[in-house]
Amino acid sequence: MTDATRITAKSWMMVALLGLTWGATFMVIELALVGITPFWLAAGRIGFAALLMLIVWAALGFRLFRGPVQPGNWAALTAVGALSSALPFMLISWGQTHVTSGFAGVSMASVALIVLPLAHIFVPGEQLNLRRAIGFVIGFVGVCILIGGRAFESSGAQFESLGRLACISAAACYAVSSILMRRLPAVDPIGLSTLLLCIGTALVLPVAWLAEGPPPMPAPDILMIIVILGLIPTAAANLLRVLVIRSAGPVFMSLTNYQVPVWSVVLGALILSEPLPPSLIGALILILAGVGLSQYGALHRLFVGAK
């Protein structure tokens, strides 16, 4: 399948919705961490999302593979489940307790740069070219300008270096899981989303128990935040992520990571009355220019039509 057939107006809408959803998530995570430990926050949101998706999947008859199952399919699913939810959620939740939110934002934007060379090697039809590479670099520079000095300033935390490594490792997990997910055989997207969340839950629960002890009973407001995190940026967004990667590819999906810091800044201004940075307009121009350059072919087909 080529770019010409798989990147559609629906693909762009799903990526835009994911950017908005995940852009608001970091702010919500900060609120939740006031009343619950990082690993149990990750376990709570993944576990709740897995339960919701299991109900939906059961109603649809537990469909998964749409063809013959190869011996390596289940191993690949396990790897994707670990790298797409359990590991990055734990790494981000823990890392955010030791680094600035700005550094966490830049780390997530770096997913696009990590995906590029991996997709070039492992995903047919996603070959790297100069235009695409320049576009992604321009977009990344725009994100760094938007976040400004907060991107690399010190938080003063004792484990800041390890916290930064955790955030970057989470970005690498998302990148590798996108590549592996794209290479899976034909599967039902709801079944795949559900199974990935179940695998993530099975991995994160024992880690949370070993690292932080028995599960705490959070206050009602914290519990509500965990439910919201499980429902929207975990269950619903995970399904959208699967749909985008399986249809439009991991490189296109990585454009979401350039939107996340933009929405984080805009929502911070609208909801928390935070001042808009003076660099916002310039950063937006760079980000949009980078996206336009890297996805010129897809945009041309969307607005002009295939020749």
Q: What is the pLDDT of residues 252-287, one digit of tens each?
A: 999 998 888 888 778 877 887 777 778 888 888 898
Its domain, for residue 36, covers: 3-303
Q: Do 81 and 241 meet the contact criterion of CB atoms below 8 Å apart?
A: no
pLDDT at 294 over 60: yes
The number of distinct structural domains making up the chain is 1
Amino acid at position 138, single letter: I
Please tell me the predicted confidence (pLDDT) of residue 5. Answer: 44
For 30, the token pair is 């900060």
- Taking the C-alpha atoms of residue 264 and residue 253, their distance in angstroms, rounded to an integer, is 18
The pLDDT confidence band at residue 1, using thresholds 50, 70 and 90, is very low
Please tell me the predicted confidence (pLDDT) of residue 186. Answer: 86
**Within 13 Å, how many C-alpha atoms sit on residue 70's CB side?**
10
Please tell me the predicted confidence (pLDDT) of residue 307. Answer: 44
Please tell me the predicted confidence (pLDDT) of residue 288. Answer: 87
- Taking the C-alpha atoms of residue 82 and residue 3, their distance in angstroms, rounded to an integer, is 28
Highest mean predicted confidence (pLDDT) among 68-82, 235-249, 251-265, 273-287: 235-249
For 153, the token pair is 């300033």
- Taking the C-alpha atoms of residue 240 and residue 280, their distance in angstroms, rounded to an integer, is 28
pLDDT at 3 over 50: no
For 192, the token pair is 């795949």
187 forms beta bridges with 65
Write the pLDDT tens digit of every residue in 151-164.
666 767 778 889 88
pLDDT higher at 263 or 105: 263
Nearest to 4 by CA among 291, 252, 290: 252
65 forms beta bridges with 187
pLDDT at 207 over 60: yes
Q: What is the DSSP string of 209-252?
A: HHHH-SPP---HHHHHHHHHHIIIIIIIHHHHHHHHHHHH-HHH
